[in-house]
Structure 1
């Protein structure tokens, strides 16, 4: 295994990356597309790539950041799927990542059944998705009762928004830079209001969204969707798209219109627009949020853990993950 800067990868290595990803359906998330690593690297956060070879060719690639002696998956903490880019049925030795000085590879959204990682996974959490094949009608045929009910309520609330605030207008793939700036501003306000860590406190992350939004190569890029009532932006979403998969990444809404549940209205419109966009699945990302539980048609699992040769560090990482799970469960049970 050798390690190179993403910027030093050649055309042959990038072609192999595309080929390995295409050969493995488990890697259809846009986070595994080399375009994501390229955008992160170009935004100012250095990306390194471990290139594993065997049998005369490249058999796996892993893009990551190095923080001192710890390795993090590319795009962390904003990467909702992580793991090696390897062909289906291929093999990978995670400990090989620690050659040359690193003491650990920490992951928190490891794709299900990533080869070689099972000994290092200390917990798993659900990552829901919507099968939107056939658009809204197809989705409703697969949705749970609560999903159908919420979509019905979204339709009625859209009509109410139109009566009270003006014509409702949905744009599935907006080219408005002011709308993107508004998404970031609303998300930062949400972080401040809830006490969550501000993802956009690091300047490179706003640059990352801007770069992804400008990417339009047909197979990969950012997608900005907006929902207006009259002149007002009710809700918006910035996500990543690769092929037929859209990742639900940064949804926001104007708190002034919270009673209309504008996020559900936007999601309903996006599901309806899915066939025209060429999208068959919307990944909602890890989490047990109420709206995800209601909206999903299925789910996969993502793993949390630490690849390390140090048993003490591994035990500490396991204890931390389980402590967070207990705290999360307590918060869920005590919510009104």
Structure 2
């Protein structure tokens, strides 16, 4: 395999990337579109691409970042699906990534269908999704009882919000930069309140979202959905869209209106609007959040692990994953 900067790829190679992705249903997430790598690279986080194939014809692309001797998937730590871009059924040797002084390739959201990675996986976790074919009516026909109940409550709470706060307005695909700034502000406040690492502490990640918002191409781009009651932004979501798939990336709501469950109101409106947007599936991303469990109609699996020739490094990665699993279990018991 050779490694090049993302900007070193030729137009023909980018066309091949798109063709390989289109031929593999496991890669329909927006994270596998070259537009995501391009936006991340332009935002200031250098993207390198490992390119494999013989006779001058690429058969695999793997975009990544390099931190010393460690390789990470493109967009890390904000990439919810990871893996090589290759046609379905193509073989892949992950150890081939470790040339040029690279000592490991660490992944935490690898699609389960990625070939060749089985021996390097140390844990698997569910990644829920919502099938929105047929909009709200179609969803309600597939949803669990709790999903239907929450959607019914969302309808009633939307009416209550309108009575108390003013006209409720939902915009499925907004280009309002001020609303995006508010999304980032609310998300950073949420990180601070929960003690989570602030994803937006690096300015390049704010530029990334701004760039994605300005990308108005149905094949790939950002989607900002907003819910207002009167002049107030109750909830919003910024995600990635490619074709018929929308990835649920940065959902937020104003804590002042938590009693109205504005996040559920927003999700209900987005499910109803999905057919008009050409969206058939909303990927909710890895996690056992209660709202994801209630809303989902199905789930896939993503994997954590590290490709390395160093058994000590692999053991350390496995121990860290297991420790985090124990911590999640403890938090879940406390929240029951």
TM-score w.r.t. the length of structure 1 is: 0.99
Alpha-carbon distance in structure 1 between the residues aligned to 2:94 and 2:213: 33
Alpha-carbon distance in structure 1 between the residues aligned to 2:160 and 2:335: 29
Matching residue of 2:25? 25
**Is 1:331 aligned to 2:331, yes or no?**
yes
Alpha-carbon distance in structure 2 between the residues aligned to 1:202 and 1:175: 23
Q: Tell me the secondary structure at the aligned position of residue 236 of structure 2.
A: strand
* Consecutive unaligned residues in structure 1, runs of 5 or more: none
Q: Does the 8 Å contact 2:218/2:241 carry over to 1? A: no
Matching residue of 2:75? 75
How far the C-alpha of 1:214 sits from its partner, in A, is 0.5
Query: Which segments of structure 1 move beyond 3 Å, counting only runs of 4 or more?
Result: none
Cα deviation, 1:255-284, whole Å, max 9, x if unaligned, reads: 000000000000000000000000000000
The alignment of Structure 1 onto Structure 2 pairs a total of residues equal to: 336
Alpha-carbon distance in structure 1 between the residues aligned to 2:137 and 2:221: 26
Matching residue of 1:211? 211
**Is 1:261 aligned to 2:261, yes or no?**
yes
Alpha-carbon distance in structure 1 between the residues aligned to 2:168 and 2:106: 44
Q: How large is the RMSD of aligned CA atoms in angstroms?
A: 0.7
Q: Tell me the secondary structure at the aligned position of residue 174 of structure 2.
A: coil
How far the C-alpha of 1:55 sits from its partner, in A, is 5.6
Cα deviation, 1:137-184, whole Å, max 9, x if unaligned, reads: 000000000000000000000000000000100000011110000000
Matching residue of 1:222? 222
Alpha-carbon distance in structure 1 between the residues aligned to 2:186 and 2:53: 45
Q: Tell me the secondary structure at the aligned position of residue 216 of structure 2.
A: coil
Matching residue of 1:175? 175
How far the C-alpha of 1:217 sits from its partner, in A, is 2.2
Cα deviation, 1:37-64, whole Å, max 9, x if unaligned, reads: 0000000110000000136521100000
How far the C-alpha of 1:218 sits from its partner, in A, is 2.4
Matching residue of 2:289? 289
Alpha-carbon distance in structure 1 between the residues aligned to 2:157 and 2:235: 13
Matching residue of 1:138? 138
Alpha-carbon distance in structure 1 between the residues aligned to 2:279 and 2:177: 23
Alpha-carbon distance in structure 1 between the residues aligned to 2:210 and 2:91: 36
Alpha-carbon distance in structure 2 between the residues aligned to 1:228 and 1:329: 36
How far the C-alpha of 1:118 sits from its partner, in A, is 0.5
How far the C-alpha of 1:113 sits from its partner, in A, is 1.8
Q: Tell me the secondary structure at the aligned position of residue 163 of structure 1.
A: helix
Matching residue of 2:107? 107
